[in-house]
Amino acid sequence: MPLELSYLVSAVFLYFLMIVVQAILANLENNPAAMAGARDGIADKGVMLGRARRANANMVEAMMMFVPLILVAYLTDNLNDMTQLGAGLFLAARIIYAPLYWFGIPWLRTLVWFAGFAGTVLVAFQILPFTGAS
C-alpha cells in the first residue's frame, strides 16, 4: 500500500479516537441513560466537551478536502515525494491539533492547523494540471 494511503487510513483511525474522546466526555458530563436516548435538550455543560465537538467538526472539514485529493492522486498515478510529504504533514498536524484544541491552546493550535492545511495544498498541487507537477 502506498504511504499516502497508509496516512489516509491512519487519519481515519485518528478520527475514530477523537470520536471516542468526545463520547467519553459526553458520558462523564451527562447521565449515560440520557446519552443512550435521542439526546434532545442536552446541552454541553463543560468546556472540554464543546472543544471536542468542535475539534471533531474541524476534522470532518479537513478530511473532506484531504481524502478525495489523496484518492485522486492515487487513481491518477500522481503519487510522489511531495504527496508523501503533504500527507505526512497533514497526519502529523492532525495528531497534534486535536489535543491542542481539547486543552484550549490557541496560537499553537492555529499554527498546527496551517501546517495540516499546507500538507493538503501540497497534495492538491500534485494533481492540478497547471502546476506542472502532474
**pLDDT score of 27:** 86
Domain that residue 102 falls in: 3-131
Helix (H) or strand (E) holding 2: none
Structure confidence at residue 133 (pLDDT):
62
Q: Which parts of the chain sit beneath pLDDT 50?
A: none
3-state secondary structure of 103: coil
The length of the chain, given as a count of residues = 134
- Looking up residue 78, the CATH number of its domain turns out to be 1.20.120.550
CB atoms within 10 A of CB 1: 8
- State the amino acid at position 88 in one-letter form: G
Collapsed DSSP state (helix, strand, coil) of residue 75: helix
**Is residue 3 a contact partner of residue 84, using CB atoms and an 8 Å limit?**
yes
What does the pLDDT read at residue 128? 85
| pTM score | 0.90
Within 13 A of 45's CA, how many CA atoms are on the CB side? 9
Q: Domains in the chain: how many in total?
A: 1
